[in-house]
Structure 1
Amino acid sequence: MRTSSSILTLLSVPLALAAPVIIAIPEGGLNIRQSSDTRNDLTDGSACKAVTVIFARGTTESGNVGALAGPPFFSALATAIGTDNLAVQGVDYPADIAGFLAGGDAAGSKLMGELVGQAITQCPDTKVVMSGYSQGGQLVHNAAVQLSADNSAKVNSVVIFGDPNDGDAVGSIPAANVDVICHDGDNICDGGIVILPAHLNYSMDAAAAAAFVKGKTGL
């Protein structure tokens, strides 16, 4: 799908990087905000649910789950398995460009792993889903490597949208339990640093991602 681009932003990043970061932002792109950009179903004391999604948003997105990929995925998953079966916990981390260029914010990656562990301990019967978009995908990869063998084995499934580490294993989680969704023409998925329209329309894959998780959870 093609999205018209209205703004071209050139960001010079003060890191050991010769090339600039070019971000092509479509109409309404990274400024999308909605009330569901923050989810804390695990940490706010809510009752345990059958499925718990730990989600890391993309670079510059608002809240702790953003708007471009996370909320559409949660909505589709709630429809697929039932709202009463779903809990969502966002990862609070800076989601800045420096973190992306570093391979994913280190503190955010650690926090994501800790949240997975908290979900497993706090809700032993829940099926944990690790998910992220863009830099959030980097966090998923990093956090998965940091999980203990026991906790890694208890991760039910993984969904990554626009994965900068496309092609890499997600820790020791079986590949059959991992769904990486990358669009043709998404430079981020190709290991680049250029954000084009193909990286900004992963909401179209929400239903397919939800169907994958539904199949893995058996709900």
Structure 2
Amino acid sequence: MKSLIFLLPTTAFAALTSITQNDVKNGGGCKAMTVLFARGTTELGNMGSIAGPPFVTALGVMMGGAANVAVQGIQYPADVPGFLVGGDKGGSQLMAQMVGQVRAQCPDTTLVMAGYSQGGQLVHNAADMLSAQDSAFVSSAVIFGDPNNGKPVGKVAAGNTKIICATGDLICAGQAIILAPHLSYGANANEAAKFVMSNMAAGGAAAGAGAATKGAAAKGAAARMVKAKYFIS
């Protein structure tokens, strides 16, 4: 029977800050950027603490303030059985549904799908469920500590995806063993955020869009390019 093995000192865990974010669920209005983030196995809240909060904090700085970024954590059990079957089914479906919801409600936002560990499995699974139009709306997909390392992220353009795997992270090698490198991804927050900002400036959401959505996507991308011009560092 497979199980998830933790081999690390307790000091490796990050501090718990901003572990729950519900901007989309609470109807906070459309922002220049929207981030859907799925936390890792056993993490608390709906954002976790290791990769999610540092990542969205970095994006807030680069976007000129957190008020310009809507953040929604994906609520799902984040338990070991979910990880072992390739990612929680319900959480994957919820993430895919939220992509469509954001596209319908905020067509000019820059949409980012992101996840850490099992949350990365959810990103892969959700991306596989997206329509062509929803896939084209995803400006960036970012995964930290990807258990599905090496696999495409659904129909999201390869140039719009970034997989970050630390040296020595056995989760990225397909093994269910947690070592210290798997808990280090807060250090990659700026790297990931800069990738997202670069895609935003390039109009990533317009890549591969269908004829019915290209005009709106291009209009939104043009406006976003102006914003990104000032905020990339």
State the TM-score, normalizing by the size of structure 2: 0.83
Aligned counterpart for 1:72 among listed residues 43, 51, 54: 54
Alignment match, 1:194: 177
1:11-160 residue pairs with structure 2 within 5 A?
17=1, 19-30=2-13, 32-34=15-17, 36-83=18-65, 84-160=67-143
1:45, CA displacement in angstroms?
Answer: 1.3
Preserved contact between residue 14 and residue 50 of structure 2 (Cα < 8 Å): no
Q: Distance in 2 between matches of 1:203 and 1:30?
A: 11
Preserved contact between residue 30 and residue 61 of structure 1 (Cα < 8 Å): no
1:31, CA displacement in angstroms?
Answer: 7.5
Q: Distance in 2 between matches of 1:193 and 1:46?
A: 38
Equivalent position SS for 1:131? strand
Matched to 2:147, the amino acid is P
Q: Distance in 2 between matches of 1:202 and 1:178?
A: 17
Preserved contact between residue 14 and residue 49 of structure 2 (Cα < 8 Å): no
1:21, CA displacement in angstroms?
Answer: 2.8
Preserved contact between residue 3 and residue 80 of structure 2 (Cα < 8 Å): no
1:27, CA displacement in angstroms?
Answer: 2.8
Q: Distance in 1 between matches of 2:172 and 2:160?
A: 19
Cα deviation 1:127-176 (Å, max 9, x = unaligned): 11000000000000000000111111111111100000000000011111
Equivalent position SS for 2:156? coil
Matched to 2:43, the amino acid is E
Instruction: Give me the CA root mean square deviation.
Output: 1.2
Equivalent position SS for 1:186? coil
1:20, CA displacement in angstroms?
Answer: 4.1
Equivalent position SS for 1:25? coil
1:26, CA displacement in angstroms?
Answer: 2.9
Residue segments in structure 1 that go unaligned for 5+ positions in a row = 1-16
Cα deviation 1:67-94 (Å, max 9, x = unaligned): 0000000111111112232111000000
Preserved contact between residue 31 and residue 69 of structure 2 (Cα < 8 Å): yes
Does structure 1 residue 165 correspond to structure 2 residue 148?
Answer: yes
Residue segments in structure 2 that go unaligned for 5+ positions in a row = 202-227, 229-233
Identity of aligned residues (%): 54
Q: Distance in 2 between matches of 1:75 and 1:207?
A: 9
CA pair 151-58 structure 1, distance change in 2 beyond 3 A: same
Q: Distance in 1 between matches of 2:35 and 2:12?
A: 24
Which deviates more from structure 2 when the two are superposed, residues 84-93 or residues 137-146?
84-93
Q: Distance in 2 between matches of 1:91 and 1:102?
A: 18
Q: Distance in 2 between matches of 1:62 and 1:30?
A: 12
